[in-house]
Structure formats: C-alpha cells, structure tokens
C-alpha cells in the first residue's frame, strides 16, 4: 500500500450547530469551532470533519445546500471559514468539509432555473420525468417517507426525483456538464486550503432508471427500492473522477468484489466508513444484553476487515451525528461505569484504517430521551413516528422506539461546563441541552486525570506514538480469542512490533490462556495487569493494549 498523509488520520467530527455558540443566538458557529481548536489539538486529532456549513434553508440540518461556495449566515461568513482553515493549520489540523452532491436544496439557483425550464440546461442538472397513468413515474418511496417524486408546479404530468425530502431534488450525475460544475467547485475549495471532503449519501449518485413499479412493501403502496438507487452498477466510473483530495464516502454494503473500485490503490475514495455495527443497539430485543451484542459486534468488525483484506483503509468509528450515543447503544444501564466506558472505544480504535471520534464522545455524552414526540425537532424523526403509528403502534410504543434509535441524541449541544446551558450559549439553545450537564461536562473531566477525557487522550497518544504508529497503520491484523464470548481481542504485528489488544464486556471478568511475554503495558483502564506464566486475568470490563515480545 502506497503511504499517504491521510493514513495517519485521527479525526474529530463536529456538528457545528451544537458545538459552540459565540453570538448568543443559540446556534453553534465557526467562531465557536475556532475557540476550541486547542482542545482538539490536545486530544491528538489531526483532522476535523465539519458537518455542513454551506448556505442552506436547513430543511435537513444543512444537508440541503443552496450555494456550494458560501457559508450559511447562522454559522458565520466565508472569512470565518478561511480563518478556521488557517488556525487549524497552525495546529497541524486539516479541515474536512461535509459535501452533499447527491442532491441540492430546491432553493439552489440551479433548481430554481430548472423549474422555469425543466427541459433546458438546468433542467438536465436534475431528474425530471413524466408520470404514468395519472400517477408518479414509479412507486419508489423516499428514504424520508412518501413518494420519491414531486409534481412540478405548473405542469400536469411532470415530476422531479427526490430520494430524500421534496426540498432536496436529486442531481443528475449522468450529465457531464453537471459533473464538471461539481469538480470545479471542489477545486476552488481545495485552493482555499481544505484538506478534503466527507461525501454524504454518495452511494446514491447512480440510479437505475428503468422506472418500473415494484410490489408495494407498505400500506402506502410505495416500495423502498434501495437497490435501484444505492451502489448501482456504474457508480465507480463516476466517482473515480473525484479522488484527488482526501475523500471519505458514506458508502454502505461494500462487498469483496467492490473493494478495489471503492478504496483500493486506484479506488474512488480514500476511505469509507465501516457501517457494519450501525444497526447494533443493546436495547433492541434481538440482543437484549451487553455480551450478546458485544459478540455480534466483534464478529461484524472482523468480517468487515476480512472483506478489505489489506487492500485499502476503512474509517473506524463508534459515534456520528446520525446515531445514538455509543455508551447507551452498546452497554446496558447496569453495565455502564467508568471501566466499561473506557473499554468501549478501544474495541476498534487500533484496527487497520483511519479513525474518527465525534464531539462529546470523549467525555461520554449520553442519549437524551424525550417525554413526548414534540420534544424532537428533526423532520425525519416525525416521519418515522408517523410510519410507526400507521403500522399500528401506540403513541407510547412509537415514542419508546424513537427514544431508542433517534439520531437526535447525538445532536444535543456540547457540554462544556456546569454553567447555564452547559456553556454552549448565552441565549436559548436551538435544541435542549441534556439535563445531566451539571455533572457530565468537559470542564469537570479536565480536572480529573482519571476521567474518560484523559483516557481518550492516552488512547490517541498510543496510536500516534512514533515507534508504534506504522504498526497500527500497516501491520497485520490477527484476531484472537474469537470464540470466547464477551471477549474482543486482536493483534497488530509487523517486523518491528507485536501489539495485543484485549477487551471484555463481562461483568465478572475472565481468565484467558496467555503465553506472550509483556514488554510494555501501553494502555489499561485499571491500575493492574494480572498476567501469569500461562494465563491472563481480565477484570470486569477491562481493556489492555500490550506490547509483547516476539
């Protein structure tokens, strides 16, 4: 594998709206990110992934872009963005922007022109089709619910495609003129010093335009025709034109046959997120306890790595802006304590690939269940609620499921200190701060060397240690104790180092056969390491990173 600068990525994802407000309007902004760059540097991150800050009507929290070369006023100005890039660079940090090019906002100048002339130049930037038999062109369902087609105002039988909300019309990536506009925009951002992009919904660019109706899969008579607009054949041919920058794709269901095209030496992306665990939730009856989930999680991690088989780099993560908080997702309440909270991130942090942490993960921020559906603000959350009610669930049952699965848990404002609104804003926050902020906040953990925050710093420091970094980047992955329930363990090995990573989700701990000779304990969430001549004792929820002799 040819070595690249971005292989050493330890990323930190920021949801700007919830990170830090500096002007009292209750919405986080770019100046707020600048304010905390020193903390991100101290954590050890060298890349920041910034969720969308482009100009947007905010129908989908900025994932509906109305101008690709401007910053939304709620976040600041282009000058603020340039300052952020420059200040981050001083600290050895590169900025990665969240780019949405599967669709634009319906307020984008391109789409406004397209509505005026659907058959002209800008009409060809989108997907317009005539209806059939007095209905939509086909019965595809939008990912956010309802038809994926919206009637064009002023036309009796013309529709445009939107696989997300109707305010997010899909761009027509079959059009080379559109692609050139996108690439030109990307180059302008790179000229400003940007490190690269996280490409949202990128696996949907290519569609299968057969437009046949499919058997309805719900009472609304629509079909979630995912295979018709996700990873469709020919997608790689489009994406290969976008690989000059660091690009991390939101690309799921990558099979062994796809690896070379997607993240190989000549693949479309630098890396893609490993989504193998994103449906895991300990509160789902499918698992119902920490150990059962932990074993499934382990098996999925190793299966994903086997698919890649050293041909590229996955992006490993536990949290992002679209998932509940990892402590509540992976650990039953009775299993949540400082030991298990420190153990959890070690499970995948030293696997081959690059890594990303999400704001608040480093202090152990939690889900924030609501007492009513009105406590949420995200449009898709309400769409899910309506679907659950339509399927026959009671209000209480629907709310329980949403409280378990909602992506809004990750979007509560960052908890900086115990002052009003957790130090996030001097005004009224756009979304309520989690009520636990008076005890769980950054300032309190900064003062406690035994806190989760300090442990994360140690973990990052081990990964980036000069004599170990290349082993974690390019060393062989050897799974260990694969059949032992409640244990997730693996070895990273090359000609210089042999590092063993051991973690357990068992409340009683476990004794394992062990024949290695420990040279150095690199990381430990306990004060002791109980290794004998032929066994090693893992205490409840213990994690160990051990440098062992050959």
Question: Average pLDDT, stretch 447-455?
Answer: 98
pLDDT class for 235, splitting at 50, 70, 90? Answer: low
pLDDT class for 550, splitting at 50, 70, 90? Answer: confident
pLDDT class for 345, splitting at 50, 70, 90? Answer: very high
Question: Average pLDDT, stretch 329-353?
Answer: 98
Return phi, psi of residue 125, to 5°.
-80, -15
Identity of the highest mean pLDDT range in 105-109, 228-232, 390-394: 105-109
- For 263-297, the pLDDT digits (tens) are 888 787 889 898 899 999 999 888 889 999 999 99
Q: What 3 state SS string does 354-418 have?
A: EEEEECCHHHCCCCCCCCCHHHCCCHHHHHHHHHHHHCCCCHHHHHHHHHHHCHHHHHCCCCCCC
Looking at per-residue pLDDT, the higher value among 206 and 442 belongs to: 442
pLDDT score of 326:
98
Confidence check: pLDDT of 42 > 80: yes
Separation of first and last alpha carbons in the chain: 25
pLDDT class for 261, splitting at 50, 70, 90? Answer: confident
Question: Average pLDDT, stretch 212-217?
Answer: 88
Question: Average pLDDT, stretch 7-20?
Answer: 97
Give yes or no for a contact between 374 and 334, defined as CB atoms under 8 angstroms apart: no
pLDDT score of 206:
82
- Considering only 226-230, 236-240, 355-359, 378-382, which range has the smallest mean pLDDT? 236-240
Looking at per-residue pLDDT, the higher value among 212 and 190 belongs to: 190
In the block, which residue shows the tokens 């925050």? 453
pLDDT score of 202:
80
Question: Average pLDDT, stretch 464-491?
Answer: 97
The encoded tokens of residue 79 equal 């000058």
- Give the integer Cα–Cα distance in Å for 34 and 438: 24
pLDDT score of 237:
63
Could you say which DSSP state residue 197 is in?
Answer: E
pLDDT class for 91, splitting at 50, 70, 90? Answer: very high
Return phi, psi of residue 439, to 5°.
-100, -35
pTM beyond 0.85: the answer is yes
SS3 86: helix
Confidence check: pLDDT of 209 > 90: no
Average pLDDT of the residues of the chain: 93
- For 503-543, the pLDDT digits (tens) are 999 999 999 999 999 999 999 999 999 999 899 999 999 99
Percent with pLDDT over 70 in the chain: 97
Confidence check: pLDDT of 243 > 60: no
**How far, CA to CA in Å, does 383 sit from each of 61, 335, 370, 398?**
15, 33, 16, 11
Confidence check: pLDDT of 359 > 90: yes
- For 97-115, the pLDDT digits (tens) are 999 999 999 999 999 999 9
pLDDT class for 230, splitting at 50, 70, 90? Answer: confident
Residues designated catalytic: 200, 250
Question: Average pLDDT, stretch 330-336?
Answer: 97
């Amino acid at each position: 594998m040819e070595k690249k600068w971005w292989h050493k990525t330890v990323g930190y994802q920021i949801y700007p709206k919830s990170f830090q407000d500096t002007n009292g309007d209750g919405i986080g902004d770019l100046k707020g990110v600048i304010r905390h760059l020193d903390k991100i540097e101290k954590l050890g991150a060298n890349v920041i992934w910034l969720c969308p800050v482009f100009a947007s009507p905010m129908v989908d929290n900025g994932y509906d872009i109305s101008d690709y070369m401007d910053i939304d006023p709620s976040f600041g100005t282009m000058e603020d963005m340039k300052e952020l890039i420059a200040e981050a660079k001083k600290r050895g940090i590169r900025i990665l922007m969240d780019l949405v090019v599967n669709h634009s906002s319906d307020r984008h100048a391109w789409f406004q022109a397209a509505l005026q002339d659907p058959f002209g130049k800008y009409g060809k930037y989108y997907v317009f089709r005539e209806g059939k038999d007095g209905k939509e062109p086909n019965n595809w369902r939008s990912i956010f619910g309802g038809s994926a087609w919206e009637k064009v105002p002023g036309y009796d039988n013309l529709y445009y495609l939107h696989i997300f909300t109707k305010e997010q019309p899909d761009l027509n990536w079959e059009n080379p003129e559109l692609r050139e506009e996108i690439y030109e925009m990307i180059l302008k951002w790179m000229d400003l010093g940007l490190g690269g992009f996280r490409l949202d919904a990128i696996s949907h660019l290519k569609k299968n335009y057969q437009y046949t109706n499919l058997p309805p899969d719900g009472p609304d008579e629509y079909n979630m025709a995912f295979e018709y607009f996700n990873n469709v054949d020919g997608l790689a041919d489009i994406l290969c034109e976008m690989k000059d920058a660091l690009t991390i794709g939101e690309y799921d269901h990558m099979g062994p046959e796809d690896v070379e095209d997607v993240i190989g030496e000549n693949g479309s992306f630098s890396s893609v997120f490993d989504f193998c665990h994103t449906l895991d939730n300990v509160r789902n009856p499918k698992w119902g306890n920490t150990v059962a989930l932990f074993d499934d999680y382990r098996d999925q991690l190793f299966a994903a790595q086997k698919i890649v088989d050293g041909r590229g780099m996955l992006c490993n993560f536990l949290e992002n802006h679209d998932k509940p908080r990892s402590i509540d997702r992976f650990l039953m309440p009775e299993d949540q304590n400082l030991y298990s909270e420190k153990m959890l991130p070690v499970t995948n942090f030293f696997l081959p690939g690059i890594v990303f942490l999400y704001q608040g993960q480093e202090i152990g921020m939690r889900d924030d269940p609501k007492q009513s559906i009105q406590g949420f603000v995200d449009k898709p959350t309400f769409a899910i609620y309506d679907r659950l009610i339509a399927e026959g669930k009671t209000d209480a049952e629907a709310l329980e499921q949403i409280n378990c699965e909602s992506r809004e848990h990750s979007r509560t404002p960052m908890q900086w200190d115990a002052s009003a609104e957790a130090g996030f804003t001097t005004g009224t926050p756009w979304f309520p701060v989690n009520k636990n902020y008076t005890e769980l906040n950054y300032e309190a953990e900064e003062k406690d060397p035994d806190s989760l925050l300090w442990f994360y710093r140690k973990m990052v420091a081990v990964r980036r240690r000069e004599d170990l970094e290349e082993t974690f980047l390019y060393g062989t992955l050897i799974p260990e104790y694969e059949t032992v329930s409640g244990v997730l363990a693996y070895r990273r090995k090359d000609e210089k180092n042999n590092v063993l990573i051991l973690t357990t989700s068992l409340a009683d701990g476990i004794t394992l056969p062990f024949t290695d000779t420990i040279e150095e304990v690199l990381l430990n969430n306990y004060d002791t390491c109980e290794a004998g001549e032929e066994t090693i004792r893992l205490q409840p929820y213990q994690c160990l990173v051990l440098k062992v002799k050959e």
